[in-house]
Amino acid sequence: MQPATQADNSVLITLFRHNTWANLKLLEFCEALSDEQLDTSGIGTFGSIRDTLRHVVGGEVSYVHRVTGKLPDTPSFRDRFPGLAILKQASRWTGDELLLLALSARADTQVEEWSDDHKIVVRYPLASLMLQAINHATEHRTHISTILTQLGLEPPDTSGWAYMEATGEFQETTEA
């Protein structure tokens, strides 16, 4: 195995592409669910599938907005569920934007934002915000998978292995 060079961003790229792929795979799976199923929640989860999907994508929009001030070209869904098509569109946008932010983050890159009451400035590393983005989505995808399982459904496989298979990175050969 060759050591990575400083310019090698393959790990970051893979992490963020997987995150976007997994979010989209779950959103696409949920398109087949009924309204009753989308409104189902489970003990120990964030809320209903519908609310959790909105929360995941909304969180990713907020991470980008905190740093860049940009918002996707989709209707706002802060206070209501916009439908899965809008969430998929926003998820594609946040996937691209979060990857750009992750690639631009350096050890000293700081995010600075005002508290809601505009009395306190909060600062934290951009790298840590990127950690939050990945962890947050993974945690809530797991919540949704738990609810789907409780509904008697097999949730989509959003693992790294499934990602490698879907992208053609995982290859099996027979050695003679």
User: What mean pLDDT is predicted for residues 94-113?
Assistant: 93
Q: Are 53 and 144 in contact (CB under 8 A)?
A: yes
State residue 176's pLDDT score. 63
| DSSP SS3 for 121 | strand
Helix (H) or strand (E) holding 114, with range, is strand 110-114
More confident of the two residues 132 and 5: 132
Q: Are 91 and 81 in contact (CB under 8 A)?
A: no
pLDDT tens per residue, range 24-80: 999 999 999 999 999 999 999 999 999 999 999 999 999 999 999 999 998 787 788
pTM, to two decimals = 0.89
User: What mean pLDDT is predicted for residues 109-114?
Assistant: 90
Q: Are 38 and 49 in contact (CB under 8 A)?
A: yes
Architecture, CATH, for domain 10-164? Up-down Bundle (1.20)
CA–CA distance, 67 with 132 (Å, rounded to integer): 14
State residue 174's pLDDT score. 82
Q: Are 114 and 12 in contact (CB under 8 A)?
A: no
CA–CA distance, 100 with 96 (Å, rounded to integer): 6
Instruction: Check pLDDT > 90 for residue 118.
Output: no
Instruction: Check pLDDT > 50 for residue 114.
Output: yes
Least confident of 8-17, 19-28, 74-83, 116-125: 74-83
State residue 1's pLDDT score. 47
State residue 76's pLDDT score. 80
State residue 170's pLDDT score. 84
State residue 94's pLDDT score. 97
State residue 3's pLDDT score. 54
